Amino acid sequence: MPSAELHRCNGMDALGLTERFAALAAWIDEARSASMTWYHQPLEVQTKSDGSPVTQADRAVEHLLRERIHAAFGDDAILGEEHGAEPGSSGWRWIIDPIDGTASFMRGMPLWGTLVALEFTEPGDQPRIVAGIADYPALEERIESPSASEAWWIRRAHRIRCHVAPARPLAESVICTTGTEYFRQSNRMSTWQRLGQQCRSLRGWSDCSALLLLCTGRIDGVVEPVMHPWDIGPFAAILPAAGAAWAALGATDGVPGGSLAAASSHGLLSQLLATAQATHSD
């Protein structure tokens, strides 16, 4: 690790990165139990202002995580999908998506997860996601990055390094996206059509499950035209630590948030971005 990056990591550790990540791992285990209690059960489904569904399970899991953070790290800020933002004074912020993939969750499909990122802001610097966990209770899988230099895949108690697949060109790649509705919402239907024409296979293994598959070498790329900070959350740390390249779809979208293209190599990412940028003006 370069000395400047090592200094930054050591500085964060002195301020509690190791302590926070250890606490997060324990709380994610609790969140897994809580979400599985609701899974395959009757749910009260409401529609939020952005058209996405929310259930009592989403709110309960986020409430549990907020309670744990308040008790252990009361000066930290929090941003959660369901309960909004809370300010803090420590330089740390927790970014929570209690159930990413609620549409799958409420239909009994296993393609959902709990996402939590740890963001740190040094004085005079920009906020950075420095660690995070993406947990997949129904799949019994988890990917995590306790630091900028490592990513791990935990699958039914087996723990191995997390890494993307070997580089392939777009024509030989399996690409995932959540659904065509997000391409319609963002006026990018031509991007979806062009991707389908140019890649080997365009699949709908959706939401955070697609990024799990990318980071563990089972697909080659992910394109999501509509994203929020809590959707990207821990993947801002996990993706580069697993060897993936990622960016927003367009120069004006901003990273993180807005949109996402992620790939097993910089070459494939360039092809995905070129496809999106060429078709966005169609």
Rounded to an integer, what distance in angstroms lies between the CA atom of residue 84 and that of residue 78? 8
Mapped onto helix, strand or coil, the DSSP state of residue 87 is coil
| pLDDT value for 12 | 65
Domains and CATH numbers, the chain: 3-161 (3.30.540.10), 170-280 (3.40.190.80)
Sheet holding 113-120, edge to edge: 84-86, 77-80, 92-100, 113-120, 128-136, 141-147, 150-155, 158-161
**Which has more confidence, 12 or 97?**
97
Query: Confidence band (pLDDT; 50, 70, 90) for 77?
Result: very high
Please compute the mean of the pLDDT values over residues 86-103 and round it to a whole number.
96
pTM of the predicted model as reported, rounded to 2 decimal places: 0.91
Rounded to an integer, what distance in angstroms lies between the CA atom of residue 150 and that of residue 146? 7
* CA of residue 116 relative to chain centroid, distance: 8
pLDDT in tens, 200-253: 999 999 899 999 999 999 999 999 999 999 999 999 999 999 999 999 987 544
* CA of residue 144 relative to chain centroid, distance: 10
